[in-house]
Amino acid sequence: MSAYLDTSILLATLIAEPMTEAVYDYLSTDPQELLISDFAAAEVASTLSRLVRMALLSEADATARLADFDAWRAAMSSPVDIGATDARLAYIYVRRFDLGLRAPDALHLAIARRLDATLVTPRPAPGDRRSRTGCRRRGAEDELSRSYPAVGPLAHRHKRHDIYADVDI
């Protein structure tokens, strides 16, 4: 089975954050094919651009991180195009108010569903109903335990957190 990585998972490989170590652990543990959509890649670039505008990253640093990401993506994953059917299904998902999905999360979910891939996404914060409400944690066999070399310049490692894989809609 293939694993579709959403933007939050990708960003954790470029920006030191609480789930960075867990993401590296997951990527090094699970040998399945990694899928990254053009939409997810655009969201990565958009986030780094926002950090530059907020003066939290320099332009040179953001450019270097994007170059690292592009090289890693080309070497380690398969590209995924976005289809009109993905947008239509995302529209259906966001209209399901019980899911509480935002449009970008719904689009990632729709793409993963079309590809029959496991959606790998961060664990929502306790009580966070704004996104990923339809996600469930996979079994203990997917417990995150090993490290993965950084693809971008990371300042330090943070405490391990869980990530979610798979979706129950």
Inform me whether the pLDDT recorded for 166 exceeds 90: no
95 or 141, greater pLDDT: 95
pLDDT number for residue 124: 60
pLDDT number for residue 11: 95
Angle between helices 38-53 and 103-115 (to 10 degrees): 150
pLDDT tens digits, 54-111 = 999 999 999 999 999 999 999 999 999 999 999 999 999 999 998 889 999 999 999 9
49 or 129, greater pLDDT: 49
Sheet holding 77-80, edge to edge: 77-80, 34-37, 3-5, 118-122, 163-165
126 SS3 class: coil
Inform me whether the pLDDT recorded for 9 exceeds 90: yes
**Model's pTM, two decimal places?**
0.74
End-to-end CA distance of the chain: 18
Integer Cα distance of 45 and 53 in angstroms? 12
What's the chain's average pLDDT?
77
Confidence grade of residue 127 (pLDDT, cut at 50, 70, 90) = low
